[in-house]
Structures are given as structure tokens and as C-alpha cells.
Amino acid sequence: MTTAHHLGLIDVMRTREFPSERVHSGTGVSGPGYHTALLVGDDAHGEEDEADRVGRRAQCLAEHDALLTLLVLRWGEPQALSLWSAQERMAAGEVIAEPWAEPVAGCEYLQLWRTGDRWVAVALYPGDHGAGCELGVIVTAVDPP
């Protein structure tokens, strides 16, 4: 997917109604008060050498940076939301409301914008395969943890 596709998907997510119950879509999950999408996945299969992993990570990071650059042009500088305290609370047994539980469990921080009555968050996950990474987006009416 290109950065233009990422922006288009975010625009659709910002205008689409939230479902009354959790449902899977082709790109992510939606539920009461939120939509999520995986923009760039860590989809390595089988044997992959270090150069391939490093290349995929570099591509993911480049797409992350390009997306952030365009979102900054749209909405200004984001809030960098550290998830450390929410991670500590989750580890102590607190239930973190959706759609925030997954990024709290897997990210150190989010880039976050308030757009009208919704939040838009861009998350960079480390991925499952060593040097990989995943790029996700959340559009929600649920306040961050």
C-alpha cells in the first residue's frame, strides 16, 4: 500500500460509523467507538535472511515517517503519547479499554491527533520476526488511556 492509500483509508475510517459490536474487516477490527487497521504488516514467511528482515523494517519505517509527515501537514504536530504508565497498569491487572489494549501491550508510544470528535493514532509495533515492524492506525472516539 502507498502513503496515498494509507491516507485514504484513514479518511474512510474517520467518516465511517462505528459498529455496535466488534467485527473484523479486511484491514483490521472495528467495534463500538473505534476502527483499527494494519497498514504495513510483518508478513515474513519461511526462511528469510537478515538482509531481508532489515530491508522490510527499513521499508516499514520509511512508510511510517512518510505517513507522519503528511499527517503533520494536515493536522499539525501530534502528541507523542507514551504508553509506559498504561503498560504498568495493565501488568498490574487493570483492563485497558479497546481499542487501546493492543497498542498498550505492543508499543512504547503513539503519535496522536484530535480531529473533530475522534482521535487518530499511528502506532509502530516491533513485529514478530526480529527486525520486522508493523504500522497500524486507530480512529476512535474513546479517549486514550
By three-state DSSP, how is residue 111 classified? strand
**Cell numbers describing residue 125:** 509495533
- Report pLDDT for 131: 60
Does the residue 85 lie in any domain? yes
Does the residue 112 lie in any domain? yes
- Report pLDDT for 88: 94
- Report pLDDT for 18: 96
- Report pLDDT for 57: 82
The parent domain of residue 38 ranges over: 3-16+33-140
Does the residue 145 lie in any domain? no
Does the residue 59 lie in any domain? yes
Does the residue 21 lie in any domain? no
| pLDDT by 10s per residue, the chain, length 145 | 688 899 999 999 999 999 999 999 888 999 999 999 998 876 555 566 777 778 888 888 899 999 999 999 999 999 999 999 999 999 999 999 999 998 998 888 899 999 999 999 999 888 655 566 889 999 999 999 8
Does the residue 68 lie in any domain? yes
Alpha helices (H) along the chain: 3-15, 50-75, 84-91, 101-106
Q: How many domains does the chain have?
A: 1
Cross-strand partners of 124: 135
Does the residue 22 lie in any domain? no
Strand order in the sheet with 29-31: 23-24, 29-31, 34-40, 134-140, 118-125, 109-115, 79-82
Backbone angles phi, psi at 41, to 5 degrees: -110, 155
